[in-house]
Amino acid sequence: MQQNKGIDKSQMISFAVLCLVLFGFMFYFQNKQSKEEQVKAQEQKTEQVKNAVKQTQASNINPNVTSGAIQTASLSNKELNVEFSSLGGQVSKVQLSEYKAYDHKTDKADLPLYLIDKKNSNYGFQFKDKTGKVINTKDLVFTPAVNGNAVTMTATYNNAVIQFIYTLLPKYTLDFKVRTKGLAAVTSDNKADFIWDYSVRNLEKGRAQEQSHSEFSYAFNNYKDYDYDGRTEMSEEKETLNWIGVKQQFFSSVIEAKNGFTQSKGNQEAIEEGEYLKKLNFEGFVQMTGSELNQDFTWYFMPLDLPLLKSYDKNFDEILPLGWSFIGWMNRYFFMWLYSVIAGWGLSAGWVIFLMTIIVKLILSPIMYKQHKLSAMMKVIRPEIDEVNAKLKDADPMKKQQATMEIYRKAGVNQMAGCLPALVQIPIFYALFRFFPNYIDLRGQGFWFAKDLTAYDDLIKLPFKIPFLGDHLSVFALACTIVILIYTVMTSGNMQQPQQEGMPNMKVLMYIFPITFLFFLNTSASGLSWYYFVSNAINILIILVIKYVILDEKKIHAQIQANKEKPKSEGKFQKKMREMMEKAQNQQQIQEQQKKKK
């Protein structure tokens, strides 16, 4: 008799003990973390004075400007604190009041969250005067005037007046109007070059993950079309961009031009370490009428929250990288909806993910049942396959394969049915790969020893760096790897090994996969690792229930014998495979005959 290479009752007990140990380990560190949080001192909040205008030093900003000549003005509402610099008349500081940034020194998200600070953003309008000299507004010194929720920045150049009028509005919006008077006497240009240099600040724990999500985003064709660019260079010479933005993992800085940017181009460069992740440069032209620059713009400094992004009706929701086509649909209309419904019950984020996993498994349970029933059927007919392989030991490999397929056909076993669960789970995996690191409701949500489910947990810190792994080990990733290995042991017992020489051992490849998975998950969102830990633990329990409670091998054997007595109708796939094998076998026979003639 063929021995069962699956899992026996002693292995069941071992698995249960392992799960208890892992959960005990997790609860221990959850309690440890809660004690640390109890002794944390409350952060002292600093109040920013609304509509304040103050003097700041100009040294090291522009060597042509006298020290002490630079002024700043500020506006605030419940969402944004915005500061403006008289040098260039531009936004010099943007704080999102309702969010915090991660502090690598304290390993906590307790810093004020600034999208713009320390001169990481610099923009201006460039044109030539009639002598050919290049003028850029970012080099001019403006005079600020505050009136309610608006700041007017005024500068003069050769008697021409240039005004930037900023108005702070709700929903993370800053209206930006450019008005000039007398500029036509200075320049003959019919368009101005808008140049924006922006360095992305590191706001999250997972540097590599946040860096990979930092890129250009833009809309065109009257807001209908959207594109993004994470490559070295971007070029949209033929399109008129409605808005251009720099997207980060959870936030975005966007400028909208009411009449669009033309001949747009940009480049970006990754920064390997330090306070910044990427340096991006954008350049696009805006129209001038009669050599006067009178254009309307809007700045948005916003969190990537899907309902908020949709509310603007400017295609901003495409900034959120939830995946293309069906993948994005699953995230938008299923996973986000499911998470919000369960979170509404008052559960913590980790337990919400736990229940999400169970619900997804219940939906997929009919497919899993068919998969394991097929596995049981293949186990029953394994002695016949081994017998055929023994008889045709010295025969042509093609004949062995044909004989094996004939056994499957007579038994009513469709091997392709076993691929269906894997094919179904591929889009689900990719959807969740996009969901966990980008869903802002999960940002900052801790669970046990993971302080943020959108970043990795680094409970086990290493004194050195391992290539592709980093300087830490994620406990969630380790736990996930262990249960995947157990699942692999349970499901690889009935796998037929290749009979041809030189073919790879599939079992070995299956055992290597979980190890490589560790390298992938170690720096990924811990929410993803937690989901797949629960998912594979449930897979193991389902296998045990199906194997020991639902499926009866005697009944399956009887069903196979009954299938053998029935007249067989060859399916399209089986027919195609048979014809391909027969053709290959005929070609092989012809080649052998030609060799004998030689």
Q: Which two tokens stand for residue 246?
A: 């720099």
Task: Give me the pLDDT at residue 57, please.
Answer: 36
Over residues 351-373, mean pLDDT: 82
Q: How many helices, marked H, and strands, marked E, lie in the chain?
A: 14, 21
Q: Convert the pLDDT of each residue in 91-111 to its tens digit.
A: 999 999 999 998 888 888 889
Range ranked top by mean pLDDT from 25-34, 66-75, 371-380, 491-500: 66-75
Position 132 pLDDT exceeds 80: yes
Query: Torsions phi, psi of 211, nearest 5?
Result: -65, -40
Let me know: does 157 contact 280? Beta carbons within 8 Å: no
Residue-wise DSSP of 473-510: E-HHHHHHHHHHHHHHHHHSTTPPPP-STT---HHHHH
Composition of the chain by helix, strand, coil, percent to 5: 40, 30, 30
Over residues 62-69, mean pLDDT: 49
Over residues 128-133, mean pLDDT: 85
Q: Convert the pLDDT of each residue in 556-582 to its tens digit.
A: 556 555 655 555 555 555 556 556 655
* Pairwise pLDDT comparison (300 vs 51), residue with the higher score: 300
How large is the C-alpha radius of gyration of the chain? Answer: 32
Over residues 168-177, mean pLDDT: 95
Sign for the CA dihedral angle at 204, 210, 214, 220 comes to negative
Domain ranges of the chain: 9-35+330-581, 53-321
Let me know: does 209 contact 525? Beta carbons within 8 Å: yes
* Pairwise pLDDT comparison (392 vs 10), residue with the higher score: 392
Q: Convert the pLDDT of each residue in 290-322 to its tens digit.
A: 888 999 999 999 999 999 999 999 999 999 888
Per the DSSP assignment, residues forming a β-bridge with 450 are 447
Task: Give me the pLDDT at residue 7, please.
Answer: 42
Task: Give me the pLDDT at residue 26, please.
Answer: 47
Q: Residue 514: which pLDDT band, with cuts at 50, 70 and 90?
A: confident
Per the DSSP assignment, residues forming a β-bridge with 297 are 176, 257
Q: Convert the pLDDT of each residue in 22-44 to its tens digit.
A: 445 444 444 444 444 444 434 43
d(CA 254, CA 136): 21
- Candidates 388, 423, 390; CA nearest to 408 is 388
Residue 180, CA atoms < 13 Å, CB-side half-sphere: 23
Cite the DSSP H helix spans in 153-305.
207-212
Q: Residue 228: which pLDDT band, with cuts at 50, 70 and 90?
A: confident
Task: Give me the pLDDT at residue 294, please.
Answer: 92
CATH of domain 53-321: 2.70.98.90
E strands in 500-598: none
Q: Which two tokens stand for residue 426?
A: 């591929």
Residue 234, CA atoms < 13 Å, CB-side half-sphere: 27
Range ranked top by mean pLDDT from 50-59, 220-229, 249-258, 488-497: 249-258
Q: Residue 375: which pLDDT band, with cuts at 50, 70 and 90?
A: low
Regarding pTM above 0.85, the answer is no
Query: What is residue 544's three-state secondary structure?
Result: helix
Position 172 pLDDT exceeds 90: yes
Position 589 pLDDT exceeds 70: no
H or E stretch including 368? Answer: helix 349-380
Q: Convert the pLDDT of each residue in 1-15 to its tens digit.
A: 333 334 444 444 444
* Pairwise pLDDT comparison (67 vs 232), residue with the higher score: 232
Let me know: does 421 contact 368? Beta carbons within 8 Å: yes
d(CA 235, CA 265): 4
Task: Give me the pLDDT at residue 480, please.
Answer: 86
Supply the mean pLDDT for the chain. 77
Amino acid, single-letter form, for residue 331: N
d(CA 378, CA 386): 12
Q: Convert the pLDDT of each residue in 427-474 to its tens digit.
A: 888 888 888 888 898 888 888 878 888 888 887 877 777 777 777 788
Task: Give me the pLDDT at residue 290, please.
Answer: 86
Q: What SS3 string covers 286-307?
A: EECECCECCEEEEEEEEECCHH
Let me know: does 319 contact 247? Beta carbons within 8 Å: yes
